[in-house]
């Protein structure tokens, strides 16, 4: 099954360190999304890509966050100078196109100590 | 006002009963509506989607949409312990992203 794959599953880091997460979408999906979810809340939209172009970034995405999707395949999300408030589940999802269903990966659980 | 609001729960129902989940949304131009199920510590899993007013049934699940009232619901018939999870309502206010509610946690008592 070629579902959405995320790595690592868990990441524990110290405040101030940089972290990078990877997402491999379903192969025929040209849209890729990053969401963040904290306990007791629904996923919050961070950013999305149409192929390799990053078309929208939420105001939640501070300058410490950067996402890339080179060649329109996998994507990386980097957080620089992590803060305790960055602790959350980071979810990647992909879809075929507009108004299509999102399929989520297993997520990366980030804990900032 | 939040874009998507769900009844706060938690909702506890006996096995075999109907669980009813409600969701309202603020953007009248929303076109697509989804229900995701999320088990504790897992990622959301799509269980239903609906685009048109009315009811849509899939097995034990029925989604209901009323665009005039900006309301979408999910009924789970013959609830099973395996249905115990958080159910997320998601709405597409435009053609590129989903906005999620905070979720309703359902517990099915055996």
Question: Burial level of B90, CB count in 10 A (0-12/13-18/19+)?
Answer: buried
Instruction: Determine the pLDDT at residue B97.
Output: 82
> What are the mean pLDDT values of chain A's consecutive 10-residue runs (113 residues total)?
89 97 94 94 93 89 92 94 96 87 93 97
pLDDT of residue A98: 75
Q: What is the pLDDT of residue A80?
A: 97
Q: Which residue of A has its CA nearest to B47?
A: A101
Q: pLDDT digits over B30-75, tens only?
A: 888 999 999 998 999 999 999 999 999 999 999 999 999 999 999 9
**B43 contacts chain A (CB < 8 A):** yes
Go through A70-107 and write b for each residue having 16 or more CB atoms within 10 A of its CB, e for each that does not: eeeebbebebeebeeebbbbbbbbbbeeebeebbbbbb
- Which residue of chain A has the CA closest to B103? A42
Cβ neighbours for A109, distance < 8 A, ≥ 6 positions apart: A9, A10, A11, A88, A89, A90
What pLDDT, on the 0 to 100 scale, is given for residue B1? Answer: 66
Contacts of A106 in chain B (CB under 8 A): 42-43
Structure tokens given for B66: 């009323």
Residues A22-52 pLDDT 10s: 999 999 899 999 999 999 999 999 999 999 9
């Amino acid at each position: 099954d070629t579902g959405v794959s995320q790595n690592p599953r868990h990441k524990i880091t110290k405040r101030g360190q940089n972290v990078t997460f990877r997402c491999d979408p379903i192969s025929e999906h040209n849209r890729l999304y990053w969401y963040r979810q904290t306990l007791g809340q629904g996923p919050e939209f961070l950013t999305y890509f149409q192929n390799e172009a990053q078309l929208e970034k939420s105001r939640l995405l501070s300058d410490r966050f950067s996402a890339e999707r080179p060649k329109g395949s996998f994507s990386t999300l980097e957080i620089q100078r992590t803060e305790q408030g960055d602790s959350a589940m980071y979810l990647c999802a992909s879809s075929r196109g507009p108004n299509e269903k999102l399929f989520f990966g297993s997520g990366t659980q980030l804990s900032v100590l | 006002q939040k874009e998507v609001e769900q009844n706060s729960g938690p909702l506890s129902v006996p096995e075999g009963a109907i669980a009813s989940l409600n969701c309202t949304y603020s953007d009248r131009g929303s076109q697509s509506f989804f229900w995701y199920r999320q088990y504790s510590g897992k990622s959301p899993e799509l269980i239903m989607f609906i685009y048109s007013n009315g009811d849509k049934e899939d097995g034990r699940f029925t989604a209901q949409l009323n665009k005039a009232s900006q309301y979408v619901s999910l009924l789970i018939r013959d609830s099973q312990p395996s249905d115990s999870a958080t159910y997320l309502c998601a709405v597409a206010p435009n053609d590129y992203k989903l906005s999620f509610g905070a979720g309703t946690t359902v517990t099915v008592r055996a």
